[in-house]
Structure 1
Amino acid sequence: MRGSSREYDESDVRVRPNRRGSRPRTKDRPKHEDAVTARVVSVDRGRWRTVVGEGTAQQRAVTAMRARELGRSPIVPGDLVGLVGDVSGREGSLARIVRIQERSSFLRRSADDDDPTERPLVANVDLMVMVTALANPEPRGGMIDRCLVAAYVAGIDALLVLTKSDLRSPDEFLTSYAPLGLEHVVTHREPAEQASDPQAPEIVGLEELRERLSGRVSVLIGHSGVGKSTLLNALVPGTDRAIGVVNDVTGRGRHTSSSALAMQLPEDDGWVIDTPGVRSFGLGHVDPDELIDAFADLSVLAEQCPRGCSHLEDAPDCALDALVEAGEAGTAGPARLVSYRRLATALQKNDPWDL
């Protein structure tokens, strides 16, 4: 219009000029102020299973899909989200996830140490439960070290659960983690001849574990075959997580859980999230400078090293070797230093500033 001072922008251009009535695009997104809060419990082929009305008489399961405006933002078990649409939970109903609430924690891993691509696991957990067997399969301290690093970076507590203590004493294995003050629970299945129900023998140590999990949001991580599913089936009756066996040749378990699943503890406001059995726990997403802080026993000794020390085996004037050998500050010994250096060397390959 002649004489008009109005400035035009792209919203004045019809997206489909040949179609009458096409409305101009807008950058404004709906606020969805009527969205209800739900907790994500599982993910399956583009659908998210959630719980609405958590802890109330109206608690119900609602299936939802991701709203387009969220793009490719990861949505994982433990996430608190906003739902709109049909949140009745009726069979065949489908809601939309339109919002992901701010997370208190976000646990991630990578496929390998030389792969910086993050793989989100769970959100809003405050306790990582590292499950390992004392025998069949053999325990692997490296896996525990990696989990401790990931827990430190995510800002969550850690608990070590040692299963199958009827096959081997935990004392020797625990000496490696005593200096860290790492809390632990030792469990084993009661012999069938001593159990009140031979078909479902009790788990010694289960009540102590239940107390540690009460009122918390926990994630269980461990290799296949270590007894994770056995513990979960006892903690949450009716879960029926598949229980695997250990291969006699490889000494490793077979994957039985294919996806993460959050389960509510009975008569408790706590949640426990089961993750698929892992064969590796990559730390490609971790900054190498954060690693020494995750090894609390070594971090104290590293203060005596020269400024800028890499703490690696070839680092000049590194004080860690002599201090660890002398048993300073109650360190667990050379094995911890070897574990740290192995991870640090792998992480350096991912450091974009390490040219």
Structure 2
Amino acid sequence: MPEGIIVKALSGYYYVRDDRGGPLVQCRARGIFKKRGESPLAGDRVTYEATENGEGTVNEILPRRSALIRPPVANADLAVLVFSVVHPDLNLQLLDKFLVHVEHAELDTVLVWTKNDRIPEGPEGAEARARVEEAKRMYTSIGYEVLVTSAREGVGVADVQQRLAGHIAVFAGQSGVGKSTLLNSLVPGLTLQTGEISEKLGRGKHTTRHVELVSLPGGGLVADTPGFSQLDFTELGIDEIGYCFREFRELSAGCKFRGGCTHIHEPGCAVRQALDEGRVAQSRYDHYKLFMTEWKEKPRRY
């Protein structure tokens, strides 16, 4: 029975790219999946069989390495968090929120900062560039790879292309930061719709309506995903938020109350000591406390 990968899931149809090549096969899923409460996802490796009408039926979902709920993608192993440095400005609080969810999903991460060419000249631009460089130094010191790009000028696009080779990557980030523009630069001939920024609201409209895996010329697949309408912490335990801050995770072994330190009020906290000594960024710690408060105030889902 032929095998392939689902590259698009839309309105009950699953578009399978056969390992042997050829055009995509439009498939329906067997009814047994619904009875089991299962649903094929973009990124799933599957077995399928052709039907008389020239379409196909997905028969089996092969074992997954990972499965994300938001966005619904299987077997992703790399998260590409795309944020612009201007229009809209680099939002470190939202970036840290994304990073918590990516760390919880146990995905590798690369940070791609777009629109570097849009930074204005003069004192205002110099200040913006200094903020970007300082943020890059901070996240690099934590262990994240940061690529600063300009899709319009082609700067950094080859670096992103090389980083994505061999991976199933999830593209995610704030609306209006240029995710589709960057993908259009990565894949010649791709014409994903790009959204205009609302000057009044300072954000863009979501332009992606379903998950679709796009093949990259250098190898690998990337999912251009719908923008996240919300990011909350209802799926995380309160102790998991600190674990999802990489630098906190490494330091927490030195806390007096190992395994139970919230890094907020306990004595002998290694994280707060590192904060006092300048080894933890104030912005990261402030965002952590904010997320912990949000967790406590968010109604639990049972």
Task: Give the alignment's TM-score, normalised by structure 2.
Answer: 0.86
Q: Distance in 2 between matches of 1:49 and 1:207?
A: 29
Q: 1:136 to 1:295 in 2, by over 3 A?
A: same
Q: 2-side partners of 1:343 and 1:94: how far apart?
A: 47
What value does the CA root-mean-square deviation take over the aligned residues?
A: 2.3
Q: Does residue 323 in structure 1 map to residue 271 in structure 2? A: no
The answer to whether 1:148 aligns with 2:110 is: no
Residue in 2 aligned with 1:290? 240
1:189 deviates by 4.2
Alpha-carbon shift at residue 244 of structure 1 (Å): 0.8
- The amino acid of 1:60's aligned partner reads P
2:125 corresponding residue in structure 1: none
* Unaligned segments of structure 1, at least 5 residues: 1-33, 110-119, 191-201
Kept after mapping to 2: 8 A contact 1:223/1:279: no
Separation of aligned partners in 2, 1:204 and 1:140: 21
Counterpart among 279, 291, 302 of residue 252 in structure 2: 302
**Residue 180 of structure 1, aligned match among 142, 164, 184:** 142
| Structure 1 position 227 matched with structure 2 position 193 | no
Amino acid aligned to 2:168: V
Q: How far has the Cα of 1:345 moved from its partner?
A: 3.3
Q: Does 1:63 align with 2:14?
A: no
Q: Which amino acid aligns with 1:63?
A: Q
Q: How far apart, in 2, do the equivalents of 1:306 and 1:270 lie?
A: 44
2:159 to 186, 208, 222: 208
Within 5 Å, give how 1:37-52 maps onto structure 2: 37-52=3-18
Of the three residues 63, 78, 96, the one matched with 2:57 is: 96
> More helix by proportion, 1 or 2?
2
2:101 aligned with 1:138: no
Deviations 1:73-117 (A, max 9, x none): 132211112212339xxxx632112211111122234xxxxxxxx
Shift, 1:302, TM fit: 2.4
Q: Paired residue for 2:231?
A: 281
2:77 paired with 1:126: yes
Q: Choose the corresponding residue for 1:78, options 22, 43, 66.
A: 43
Shift of 1:312: 5.3
Deviation of the 1:350 alpha carbon: 6.2
Give the whole-Å Cα distance in 2 for the aligned partners of 1:226 and 1:318.
41
Instruction: Assess if the C-alpha contact under 8 Å between 1:107 and 1:150 holds in 2.
Output: no
Displacement of 1:215: 1.8
Question: 3-state SS of the aligned residue for 1:123?
Answer: coil
Higher gyration radius (CA): 1
**Distance change (3 Å), C-alpha of 1:189 and 1:121:** same
Per-residue deviation, residues 205-242 of structure 1 (Å, max 9, x unmatched): 11111111112211110112101101111111222100
Which letter maps to 1:223? Q
Do structure 1's residue 161 and structure 2's residue 115 form an aligned pair?
no
Question: Is the Cα contact below 8 Å between 2:210 and 2:226 reproduced in 1?
Answer: yes
Instruction: Tell me which of 268, 272, 280 is aligned to 2:222.
Output: 272
Q: CA offsets per residue over residues 148-189 of structure 1, 9 Å max, x none?
A: 222222222100000011214220322441331210111114
Normalising by structure 1, what TM-score?
Answer: 0.74
Contact 2:263 2:272 in 1 (8 A): no
Q: Partners in 2 of 1:127 and 1:155 — Cα distance?
A: 9
What pairs with 1:231-242 in structure 2 (closer than 5 Å)? 231-242=182-193
**Structure 1 residue 261 and structure 2 residue 212: aligned?**
yes
**Is this contact kept in 1: 2:165–2:219, CA < 8 A?**
yes
Give the letter aligned to residue 277 of structure 1: G
Query: What is the distance in 2 between the residues matched to 1:142 and 1:132?
Result: 12
AA partner of residue 227 (structure 1): G
Aligned counterparts of 1:345 and 1:46: Cα–Cα separation in 2: 39
Output the amino acid matched with 2:46.
V
The answer as to whether partners of 1:132 and 1:223 remain within 8 angstroms in 2 is yes
SS in 2 for 1:99: strand
**Percent identical:** 29
Query: Within 1, Cα distance between the matches of 2:110 and 2:84?
Result: 14
- For the pair 1:337 / 2:302, whether they are aligned, the reply is no
Q: Give the secondary-structure state (helix, strand or coil) at the position aligned to 1:340.
A: helix
Q: Is the 8 A contact 2:78 2:110 kept in 1?
A: yes
